[in-house]
C-alpha cells in the first residue's frame, strides 16, 4: 500500500495512533491524499485541503471504510489537533447534503470529520420516509444515532431526540450514480444497486435466527463491539454501508 513510514504519518486526534495516508482520485484530475483513522472512523483534513474527491474516490473510500470497520471504537471525550495538539472544538455546519458535525482546530490547522458525517456532506445519505421507519420499527425498536450515538426509539421518534439528525441510510441510488458516472460499475452491479432494498436487507439480517458467518460479518460492519454477536443497537448508516458493499464485491 502507499503508506508513508510510520514516524512521518500524522496521529489520529482521538486515539493518537498514526493515521493511514490514503490516495484517492480528485474531481477533474489529480489525486488527494487523506489521513484516515480506521479505528476511530474519521478523516483529518488540513485547513486548505479541498474535499473535491471524484465519485470513484468517494466510492473507494466507502469500500475501505466498510473493509476496516471491525476494530471501530468510540471517539474520545477530547480530541487533539494532529498538528498543534490543541483541543479540537465541536461544530455543526449546514452543507448541501444536510447538517454535519465535525471537530476543528481553533488554530485553524484543519478538522477531523467522522466518516458518516463526510457521507452526509457528499450527498450519499438519504433520510427514511414514514413507511420505511414504520417497517423498521416493527423489527428493530431502537437504533443508535449515526450523528451522536444516542439511542433512538423508532416507535416514537422520526429523528434523533438529542442532535435532531434524521433517521438515515446510505443511498444506493447515489452510489450507483457515482459508479456509473465514472464508468466503474458493471451492468450487473448497477442493476443490483438499482433494485437494492436497503431496509428489507437490514430487517432480514436483523431477524435472522441463526448466527451464521455472513450475519456476524454484517453486524461487525454495523459497529458496536466487534465480533461478539449482534450488538443491542445498530447504526443504520453503518448497517446499510455493509449491505450495499456486499453487492459490490
Ligand atoms: Zn483513531
Ligand atoms: Zn492545530
Ligand atoms: Zn443524535
Domains of the chain by residue range: 6-121, 125-247
pLDDT confidence of residue 63: 82
Residues in CB range of 150: below 8 A, 6 or more apart: 144, 160, 161, 162, 163
**Residue 152 alpha carbon to ligand 3 centre in Å:** 8
**Residue 80 alpha carbon to ligand 3 centre in Å:** 22
pLDDT confidence of residue 228: 42
**Residue 73 alpha carbon to ligand 1 centre in Å:** 8
Q: Do the Cβ atoms of 155 and 141 come closer than 8 Å?
A: yes
Give Dmax (Cα) for the chain: 52
- Ion ligand 2: residues, Cβ under 5 Å: 81, 83-84, 86, 105, 107, 109
pLDDT confidence of residue 22: 93
**Residue 148 alpha carbon to ligand 1 centre in Å:** 17
pLDDT confidence of residue 58: 80
Rg (CA), the chain: 18
**Residue 157 alpha carbon to ligand 3 centre in Å:** 11
pLDDT confidence of residue 186: 66
DSSP 6: G
Q: Work out the burial of residue 215: count CB atoms within 10 Å of its CB; fewer than 13 is exposed, 13-18 middle, 19 or more buried.
A: middle
Residues in CB range of 182: below 8 A, 6 or more apart: 54, 55, 56, 59
pLDDT confidence of residue 224: 41
Distance, CA of 245 to CA of 249 (rounded, Å): 6
Rounded to the nearest 5°, which phi and psi values hold at 87? -70, 130
Q: Does residue 151 sit in helix, strand or coil?
A: strand
**Residue 4 alpha carbon to ligand 1 centre in Å:** 17
Residue written as grid cell 478538522: 111
**Residue 14 alpha carbon to ligand 2 centre in Å:** 14
**Residue 168 alpha carbon to ligand 3 centre in Å:** 11
Q: Which ligand is nearest to the CA of 108?
A: 2
Distinct helix (H) and strand (E) counts, the chain: 8, 11
Copy the grid coordinates of residue 70. Answer: 471491525
Q: Please, what's the b/e burial string for 104-124 (b: 16 or more CB within 10 A of its CB; e: otherwise)?
A: bbeeebbbbbbbbbbbbbbbb
Q: Which ligand is nearest to the CA of 47?
A: 2
Low-confidence ranges of the chain (pLDDT < 50): 209-210, 213, 215, 217, 219-231
pLDDT confidence of residue 222: 45
What is the helix (H) or strand (E) element at residue 21, kind and residue range? strand 20-25
pLDDT confidence of residue 223: 43
Amino acid at each position: 500500500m502507499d503508506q508513508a513510514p510510520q514516524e512521518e504519518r500524522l496521529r489520529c486526534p482521538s486515539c493518537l495512533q498514526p493515521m493511514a495516508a490514503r490516495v484517492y482520485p480528485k474531481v477533474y484530475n489529480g489525486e488527494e491524499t487523506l489521513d484516515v483513522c480506521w479505528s476511530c472512523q474519521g478523516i483529518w483534513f488540513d485547513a486548505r485541503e479541498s474535499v473535491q474527491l471524484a465519485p470513484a474516490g468517494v466510492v473507494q473510500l466507502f469500500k475501505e471504510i466498510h473493509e476496516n470497520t471491525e476494530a471501530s471504537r468510540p471517539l474520545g471525550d477530547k480530541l487533539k489537533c494532529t498538528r498543534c495538539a490543541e483541543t479540537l472544538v465541536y461544530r455543526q455546519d449546514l452543507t448541501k447534503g444536510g447538517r454535519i458535525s465535525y471537530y476543528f482546530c481553533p488554530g485553524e490547522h484543519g478538522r477531523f470529520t467522522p466518516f458518516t458525517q463526510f457521507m452526509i456532506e457528499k450527498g450519499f445519505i438519504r433520510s427514511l420516509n414514514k413507511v420505511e421507519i414504520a417497517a423498521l420499527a416493527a423489527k428493530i425498536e431502537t437504533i443508535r444515532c449515526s450523528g451522536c450515538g444516542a439511542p433512538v426509539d423508532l416507535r416514537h421518534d422520526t429523528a434523533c431526540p438529542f442532535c435532531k439528525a434524521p433517521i438515515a441510510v446510505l443511498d444506493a441510488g447515489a452510489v450507483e450514480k457515482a459508479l456509473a458516472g465514472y464508468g466503474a460499475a458493471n451492468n450487473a452491479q448497477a442493476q443490483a444497486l438499482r433494485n437494492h432494498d436497503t431496509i428489507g436487507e437490514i430487517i432480514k439480517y436483523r431477524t435472522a435466527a441463526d448466527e451464521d458467518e455472513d450475519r456476524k460479518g454484517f453486524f461487525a460492519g454495523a459497529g458496536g463491539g466487534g465480533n461478539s454477536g449482534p450488538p443491542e443497537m445498530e447504526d443504520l448508516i453503518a448497517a446499510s454501508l455493509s449491505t450495499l458493499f456486499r453487492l459490490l464485491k
